[in-house]
């Protein structure tokens, strides 16, 4: 512990800590000085006795220049740099330094490149550029709003660079938070000529896809082609997921498999730079990617050459293009709620204490349980997040975003993100995890599911849907059943879930509109549904659990709202009971094509359910008003759910979904004639009848 630390925490407020090992922590006075012969005495406002230090709160001058470096000197002659701390989170600081320009980062031109870094508390910034083995350094100029600038003459198309930032008495080498790419393992940021990337011609998708028309399929770039049975030339890369024509015997794999399912959107686990996989030796580490290091730089372990900054950018764009060519839209999973590490991040290097949340004692908020929370409510942090969303959409032409731990962000930021995304793509999907996490942001400002009414059009993963139908997911709740896994007491709650939780009493209302409900039975997190049934249905044989799996799939696809399918659920995917496989390796996480072959009939059942949802628009009602008007819901015989959709379209007047989660065979006679369009194996009947059989453990769909 140093003998003394000094912080500027507000205009006119300086906090000093003196170690008890230094004169018992006692000092008779404090002064502020600078290298420009500035000297002013500070007034001791109050003193607090701490176990190892004494804390002094001092009053000083309010007009300090943020372009200067100050020292705090105490009565015994000890002097330390004055660090800009909590002052950067004040309203007055933001009013003085918020920059509304859109030119931060490295902006390439053929004859010059303009560099701009927002670092208002820095006392100096040096730009170090490397090109063709030669290193040049440029002293940057401080300009308006604390933006440091330098224009470097010459063609820097293949140059890399870092910033050397002097602040708080130290010099930090830093990447550029606005950089579009970097060298391997984030050593240096790269200048990118985007005209090189624009030569990769995209395949724009025609047609309008609104929220409830979407069917989302979640997978990972690495997992989708990691298995050697995938048949791709390479594995676990952007390029591998771009390959066409791969299969295992009669089952398409990789890109062709995704295209065969009938889903509308592929949601990819994080593809932007993350910290814990060695980009040069990716097989030695595995991680899902929820440990962000750079937000605009694609992950190098997914590229053909991590040291070629253009490779990762071009190959991500080419992969999105390949998915678009197959008629698949692309949503990216983004992680703005925290970073892998505050220390050493480009944000902390540039403006310490600004981009992350701290309490009044300067202790970091940790609602993410990853050591830090990104301060999305700070104006320049919000501006950055919105900028990243815009640039990713412009460069890579992605179609939407899933926000990890979205409840840690603020509602205003999410609304600005959606507004920006819709300006670029009117069909853009914005949704995320609205869990209410214990961050220091006031609860009424959090982008949590309880505040969904403050974020119209933003979707939320509906844990009510998941827990009611499958059963709860936590390890200590793995024996808890849901409606489709054997708890008939959840039958009435299933009616609320199937109506996207938009109906009032007696149902549970959570959302204003159905597109806000993202209906996932399982995601990459927690156990797979199949593994959960090892616990909650462990006394049942495999054939019985396969029937339950099909029920889970059907209910997820036919419910109002937005269906969400986790990769592998359609073939009873297992992670060998690993409930948190974020770093468990390829053997656990990869697509198991042999298992897909064994369970090909369930994959085909899933395809038939998807085709039926596409065919009948009644499964895709757009508004809560339509759902209130057209849904008729009931429970029969204590366990059978009747889910009627009175929607005249597609040549029919009504859809009737019947769900039997029991072991009892049921049969029903109705006044009207119905035609079964989905039976236990997903097939349809050509005949109409007033009599409908409802076998055990199944979902039957009829129309009239």
pLDDT above 80 for 646: yes
Give the integer Cα–Cα distance in Å for 512 and 630.
16
In a domain, 574, yes or no: no
- Quick one: how far is CA 564 from the chain centroid? 15
Q: Is residue 643 part of a domain?
A: yes
Q: How far, in whole angstroms, is CA 534 from its chain's centroid? A: 29
Q: What is the pLDDT of residue 20?
A: 97
Three-state SS for 529? helix
Task: Choose one of 159, 174, 189: the last residue of a domain.
Answer: 174
At residue 556, the pLDDT reads 98
Residues 448 and 361 in one domain: yes
- Whether residue 168 is predicted with pLDDT greater than 90 in this model: the reply is no
Final residue in a domain of this structure, among 55, 84, 113 = 84
User: For position 38, what pLDDT does the model report?
Assistant: 85
Residue-wise pLDDT tens digits, 177-206: 999 999 999 999 999 999 999 999 887 787
Q: Tell me: the pLDDT tens digits for 554-580?
A: 999 999 999 999 999 999 999 999 999
Residue 126 forms part of a structural domain: yes
pLDDT at 36: 72
Residues 696 and 638 in one domain: yes
In this structure, the answer to whether residues 103 and 168 fall within a common structural domain is yes
- Residue where a domain terminates, one of 51, 84, 117: 84
385 part of a folded domain: yes
Q: Residue 431: is its pLDDT beyond 80?
A: yes
Residue 476, pLDDT score: 95
Same domain, 341 and 394: yes
What's the CA angle centered on 491, arms 490 and 496, to 5 degrees?
90
* Dihedral, CA of residue 541, residue 547, residue 550 and residue 554, to nearest 10: -140
Question: Active-site positions?
Answer: 404, 433
Q: Is the pLDDT of residue 153 over 90?
A: yes
Are 101 and 76 within one domain?
Answer: no
Q: Assign residue 644 the CATH number of its domain.
A: 2.60.40.1180
Give the total residue count for the chain: 704
In this structure, what are the phi and psi dihedrals at residue 274, rounded to the nearest 5 degrees?
Answer: -125, 165
Q: Tell me the three state secondary structure of residue 377.
A: coil
Percent of the chain beyond pLDDT 70?
A: 100
Residue 545 lies in a domain: no
Q: Which domain holds residue 361?
A: 336-459
Question: Are 126 and 31 found together in one domain?
Answer: no
Going from the C-alpha of 153 to that of each of 104, 370, 379, the distances in angstroms are: 18, 42, 32
Residue 395 lies in a domain: yes
Given a cut of 90, whether residue 242 has pLDDT beyond it is yes
Q: Are 699 and 661 in contact (CB under 8 A)?
A: no
CATH of the domain at 28: 2.60.40.2320
Q: Are residues 103 and 164 in the same domain?
A: yes
Q: Report the pLDDT averaged over residues 239-268.
A: 97
H or E, element range at 260 = helix 254-261
- The total of structural domains in the chain comes to 4
Give yes or no: residues 365 and 455 share one domain: yes
Count of CB atoms within 10 A of residue 664's CB? 13
Question: pLDDT tens-digit profile of 275-328?
Answer: 999 999 999 999 999 999 999 999 999 999 999 999 999 999 999 999 999 999
128 and 47, same domain (yes or no): no
Asked, for residue 232, whether it belongs to a domain, the answer is no
Query: Are residues 421 and 354 located together in one domain of the fold?
Result: yes
Question: Do both 452 and 385 map to the same domain?
Answer: yes
Check residue 434 and give its pLDDT. 98
Tens of pLDDT, residues 41-60 = 999 999 999 999 999 999 99
Strand 666-678 with 655-660, pairing: unpaired
For the question of whether the overall pTM of this predicted structure is more than 0.95, the answer is yes
Please enumerate, as own/partner, the contacts of 201-209 that have beta carbons within 8 Å and a separation of 24 or more: 201/321, 202/317, 202/320, 202/321, 202/324, 202/397, 203/321, 203/324, 203/325, 204/324, 204/397, 205/324, 205/327, 205/329, 205/399, 208/426, 208/427, 209/264, 209/265, 209/329, 209/427
Relative to beta strand 400-403, strand 329-334 is parallel
Average of per-residue pLDDT across 698-704: 98
Kindly state whether residues 44 and 116 are assigned to the same domain: no
pLDDT digits (tens, 9 = 90+) for 98-137: 999 999 999 999 999 999 999 999 999 999 999 999 999 9
Task: Look at residue 1 in the predicted model and tell me its pLDDT.
Answer: 80
Q: What is the pLDDT of residue 462?
A: 98
Q: Is 609 a member of any domain?
A: no
pLDDT of residue 169: 80
> pLDDT digits over 2-41, tens only?
999 999 999 999 999 999 999 999 999 999 999 777 889 9
């Amino acid at each position: 512990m140093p003998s003394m630390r000094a912080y500027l925490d507000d205009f006119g407020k300086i906090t000093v800590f003196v170690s008890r090992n230094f004169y018992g922590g006692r000092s008779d006075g404090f002064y502020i000085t600078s290298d420009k012969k500035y000297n002013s005495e500070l007034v001791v406002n109050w003193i607090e006795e701490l176990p190892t230090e004494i804390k002094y709160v001092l009053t000083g001058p309010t007009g300090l220049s943020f372009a200067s470096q100050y020292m705090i000197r105490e009565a015994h002659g000890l002097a330390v740099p004055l660090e800009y701390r909590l002052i950067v989170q004040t309203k007055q600081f933001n009013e003085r330094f918020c920059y509304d320009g859109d030119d931060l980062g490295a902006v390439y031109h053929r004859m010059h490149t303009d560099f701009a870094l927002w670092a208002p508390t820095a006392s100096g910034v040096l730009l170090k550029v490397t090109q063709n083995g030669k290193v040049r350094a440029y002293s940057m100029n401080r300009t308006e709003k604390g933006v440091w600038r330098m224009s470097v003459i010459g063609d820097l198309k293949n140059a890399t660079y870092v910033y050397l930032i002097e602040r708080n008495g130290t010099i930090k080498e830093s990447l550029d938070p606005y950089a579009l790419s970097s060298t391997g393992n984030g050593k240096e940021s790269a200048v990118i000529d985007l005209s090189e990337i624009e030569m990769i011609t995209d395949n724009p998708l025609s047609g309008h896809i609104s929220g409830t028309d979407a069917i989302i399929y979640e997978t990972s770039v690495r997992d989708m082609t990691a298995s050697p049975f995938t048949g791709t030339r390479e594995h676990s890369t952007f390029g591998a997921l771009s390959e066409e024509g791969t299969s295992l015997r009669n089952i398409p794999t990789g890109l062709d498999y995704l295209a065969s399912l009938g889903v509308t959107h592929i949601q990819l686990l994080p593809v932007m730079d993350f910290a814990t996989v060695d980009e040069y030796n990716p097989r030695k580490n595995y991680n899902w990617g929820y440990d962000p290091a750079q937000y605009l730089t694609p992950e190098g372990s997914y590229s053909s050459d991590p040291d070629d900054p253009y490779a990762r950018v071009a190959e991500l764009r080419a992969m999105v293009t390949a998915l678009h060519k197959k008629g698949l839209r692309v949503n990216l999973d983004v992680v703005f709620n925290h970073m892998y590490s505050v220390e050493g991040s480009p944000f902390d290097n540039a403006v310490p204490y600004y981009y992350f949340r701290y309490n009044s004692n300067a202790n970091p908020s940790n609602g993410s349980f990853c050591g830090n929370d990104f301060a999305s409510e700070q104006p320049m942090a919000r501006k950055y997040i919105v900028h990243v969303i815009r640039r990713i959409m412009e460069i890579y032409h992605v179609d939407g975003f899933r926000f990890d731990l979205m409840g840690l962000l603020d509602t205003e930021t999410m609304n600005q993100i959606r507004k920006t995304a819709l300006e670029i793509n009117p069909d853009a999907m914005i949704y995320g995890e609205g869990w209410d996490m214990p961050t220091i942001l006031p609860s009424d400002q959090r982008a949590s599911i309880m505040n969904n009414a403050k974020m119209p059009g933003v979707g939320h993963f509906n844990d009510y849907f998941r827990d009611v139908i499958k059963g709860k997911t936590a390890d200590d709740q793995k024996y808890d059943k849901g409606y489709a896994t054997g708890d008939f007491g959840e039958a009435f709650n299933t009616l609320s879930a199937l109506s996207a939780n938009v109906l009032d009493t007696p149902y549970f209302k959570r959302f204003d509109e159905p597109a806000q409900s993202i209906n996932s039975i399982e995601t990459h997190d927690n156990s797979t549904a199949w593994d959960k049934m090892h616990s909650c249905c462990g006394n049942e044989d495999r054939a019985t659990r396969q029937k339950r799996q099909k029920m889970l799939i059907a209910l997820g696809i036919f419910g109002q709202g937005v269906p969400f399918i986790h990769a592998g659920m359609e073939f009873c995917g297992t992670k060998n009971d690993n409930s948190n496989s974020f770093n468990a390796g390829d053997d656990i996480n990869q697509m198991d094509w042999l298992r897909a072959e064994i369970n090909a009939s369930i994959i085909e059942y899933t395809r038939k359910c998807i085709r039926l949802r596409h065919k009948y628009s009644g499964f895709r009602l757009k508004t809560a008003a339509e759902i209130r008007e057209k849904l008729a819901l009931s429970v029969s015989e204590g366990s059978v759910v009747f889910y009627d959709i009175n929607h005249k379209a597609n040549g029919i007047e009504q859809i009737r979904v019947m769900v039997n989660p029991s072991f009892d065979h049921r049969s029903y006679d109705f006044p009207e004639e119905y035609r079964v369009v989905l039976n236990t194996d997903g097939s349809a009947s050509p005949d109409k009848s007033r009599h409908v059989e409802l076998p055990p453990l199944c979902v039957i769909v009829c129309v009239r």
